[in-house]
Amino acid sequence: MFNSRRQFLVQNSALALSMALPLPAELATHTRQARLLAAWQLPSGLYQVGVLNAAGQAGALSHAVRMAVDLPTRPHGLMHLQGDEYLVIARRPGDWLLRLNIRSGETSRVWQEEDRHLNGHSALHGDRLYTTETDVLGGTGVLAVRNRHTFELQDVWPTHGKDPHEMLVLPKGGLGIDEPFLLVANGGIHTHADMGRTQLNQLPMDSSLVALHPRTGQLLNQWTLSDSRLSLRHMAVHASGVVGVAMQTHHSTAALRDAAPVLALLDENGLRTVNESAGVKGYAGDIVATPQGFVISCTKNNSAGQFDVQGNLLYSQAANAACALAAEGEQVWLGSLAVEFSRPLELDNHWLLI
């Protein structure tokens, strides 16, 4: 685990670890009632998405499944569309998009075209919905431009890398760019839909961050790291404009993977790795921004850590199979991949406060 300067103040439950940061323990006693949109797998192998309730005080959180909808395959990204409507996207190599109304439980599904597969994430800008995808024949990364209401495909743009994963919509002036733009994380891993998630021709990887114009797809800027085996995957933006990037390493030995950092920071001065984020088995599952900086979950290391916007480690915490993160102010909701309710559920990678 990280060499912690101080431990998280943690409120435990079977549902989540709710971390109040950085209040002293005598003040970190109340956790507000929360609803989370989450996805999970049942012991039968069936995948579902639905709403979870969590409420109570430190050490005594209650939880319940408010609603659940069956899914055809494993999901990944979750995104708010409008009102009670949310988008659920299949895990890569994915072939479906699902619109879910969390009040009525109504759903509508769109199947993906055969020449591209979905990579699990999306973003909205104006009347457009963007989804990160991979061209099946060429293995190159693309961004599909869709009508945000019908999901109808309008255009396909290159992402100038392989395996595009999460993206953000950043405002004018962000990272020194004088117009709003899309920031896309190219994971760099070459795969083929016919071989599932099997990695092909691992070197050279083609991982980068790219800024694209949201109306034309024009490449506005691109950032890479010197270590080609660091896969840039999930992102969060701090109020200061600094972008935190959660990484997953693909080095050849366990020792090299453990020594590799799992957090990078992007600002107007460029992209750099955070050395203090090493020692966690080379895998960051998710990332959120907090007033202090960023929290990352380290699934394979059973831990989570908080860093300031300069990359200094502030706190660390043991957390079994830590992955899904959501944040509101100083409150962070950290989900476990192995969670028990009245029946066992295995939570997936992401969830949202709703």
Query: Tens digit of pLDDT for each residue in 59-87?
Result: 334 457 889 999 999 999 999 999 999 99
Q: Given a cut of 70, is residue 290 above it in pLDDT?
A: yes
From CA 231, how far away is CA 92, in angstroms rounded? 15
Does 342 score more than 80 pLDDT? no
Phi/psi region, residue 257 (left: phi>0; alpha: psi -120 to 50; beta: rest), is alpha
Percentage above 70 pLDDT, the chain? 82
What is the predicted pLDDT for the residue at 77? 96
Confidence class for position 1, pLDDT limits 50, 70, 90? low
Lowest mean pLDDT segment, chosen from 186-190, 288-292, 327-331:
186-190
Query: At residue 24, does pLDDT exceed 70?
Result: no
Query: What local confidence, expressed as pLDDT, does residue 63 receive?
Result: 58
Question: What mean pLDDT do residues 225-238 have?
Answer: 95
Task: Choose the weakest-confidence range: 20-24, 108-112, 246-250.
Answer: 20-24
Whether the pLDDT of residue 248 is over 60: the answer is yes
251 and 227 Cβ atoms separated by less than 8 Å: no
For the cut 70, the answer to whether the pLDDT of residue 196 exceeds it is no
- pLDDT above 90 covers a percentage of the chain that reads 70
pLDDT at residue 113, as a whole number: 87
- Indicate if the pLDDT at residue 194 is higher than 80: no
Please determine, for residue 297, whether its predicted confidence score (pLDDT) is greater than 80. Answer: yes
The per-residue pLDDT for 62 is 46
- Going by pLDDT thresholds of 50, 70 and 90, the confidence category of residue 34 is confident
Q: What is the mean pLDDT of the chain?
A: 85
Flag whether the pTM goes above 0.85: yes
Residue 128's pLDDT band (cuts 50, 70, 90): very high
Phi-psi region of 136 (alpha: psi -120 to 50; beta: other; left: phi over 0): alpha
Mean pLDDT within 212-234: 96
Contact call for residues 31 and 56 (beta carbons, < 8 A):
yes
Residue 351 has pLDDT above 60, yes or no: yes
More confident residue, 49 or 319: 49
Q: What is the pLDDT of residue 252?
A: 85
For residue 224, how many C-alpha atoms fall within 13 Å in the half-sphere facing its CB? 11
CB atoms within 10 A of CB 57: 11
Asked whether residue 211 carries a pLDDT value surpassing 60, the answer given is yes
- CA distances (Å), origin 238, targets 93, 175, 287, 304, 327: 30, 12, 11, 18, 12
In 10 A of CB 292, how many CB atoms?
Answer: 17
pLDDT of residue 345: 73
